[in-house]
Structure 1
Amino acid sequence: MLSWLILCSLTIILSYILGSFPTGYLVGKVLKGIDIREMGSGSTGATNVLRTLGKGPGIFVLFIDCLKGVFSISLIYALLNFTTSQNLIPATVNLELWKPWIVISLGSAAILGHSKSIFLGFSGGKSVATSLGILLAMCWPVGLATLGVFLLVIGVSRIVSLSSITGAIAVSLFIVLFQQPLAYLLFTITGGLYVIFRHKSNIARILAGTEPKIGQKLELETRTEQV
């Protein structure tokens, strides 16, 4: 039992480190020799990279940050396969009961890592792309449905932050619709609130009618994170 708990704890830590991988920051350094945190909105996320470095780097960062979420959940499946093959899971442990809670623990660690990266002095992005990757790995119909809402809102409004906030709200409804475990519902509610909280400055600009749309620049002095 102790060995299994230690492995779970180590996997959660690894998930945090994986989420902390500073994709946007590294892209800025490699392509332009800049610290992306000192440009545009100050975020390491895909939207700020898009506005600062262009469409190609923005899409690349979005893709890699999404993969961080996918890989973080894949860790739990690798862990379960390993512990099962090594007979490390006690017979008294109900694996089906515990699995969703372990999954959301790894997902939460990855989200925290992306927004509070250990490699960037606990700064980062808004965890939207990483959250999408987590959802796709947890339950792909929920992930695709949430992505559909995001794309619909962004197609109409052209505002990334509004699309992210709407997706963060819609995801819990999809969890209920697709009859997912209670642990997943609690995760999406908590994660959604976290994403919305990270967008508090964006919400203020949306209400004021000053939030930039795709193709517009966010003034450097604003220094507010976008994604």
Structure 2
Amino acid sequence: MDHPVSIWPVLALVLIHFFGMRLRFLSGLPRSIWLSGAGGVSVAYVFLHLFPELNEGQEHIEDAVQALSFLRHHVYLMALLGLAVFYGLERSVVSSRKENQKDSSDEQASPGVFWVHIGSFALYNALIGYILFQREEGPVQEMLLFAIAMALHFIVNDFGLQDHHQHMYRRMGRWVLVTALLAGWLTGFLVEMPQSVIVLLMAFVGGGVVLNVLKEELPEERESRYWAFLVGATVYSVLLLAI
């Protein structure tokens, strides 16, 4: 591809990992209305754009899994898997932080849990980078809608990861995520996966987005702004339905 337009959205996502945590007005309690609104945008994109797209791609899954007929109409199993994986990761981090706080008053998760958590988000970022490259084949507006939703989602993720891992995330974690994002995008130049595989990857990412947004919004101690979440979801929903 002579002119990879997706390089600009990818660079924007990279900058978010580098500078997103410096947006001090997003930190503190009650939860920033901008973070809640960003979460609403991400979830709206998944439900109104990504999941319907997965439904349209179901025929590719049917052709690819003829030997496994019970999977033919269950592309959303991958979305459920994405949600379940990130839910399990979140529980392991929370448990590790509680144990460390009891033993040493250290609120961070253990190094082992940190690397598992960051490694999983690195894979997540790589998938998003690869999917973003694949958007080159469609209308530019489709790529931009995906990039905007993921950019806001990355901001939410960055604050969540920094809360869990603090200086370990700032010193190492964000570099791993940036490297993974770029690696996933660059893989698009070298590897062209079957459409059925891309559909499954998108489903996994969609499930991960839903869980990673809601886990930041639901805890009572976050004092989240439901109205901001609702406004973000509504505004982006209107935009998606209008295009």
Which TM class, normalised by the smaller chain length?
Answer: 0.3 to 0.5
| TM-score where L is the length of structure 2 | 0.32
Q: Which TM-score applies when normalising by structure 1?
A: 0.33
For CA contacts below 8 A with separation 6 or more, give which structure has more relative contact order.
Answer: 2
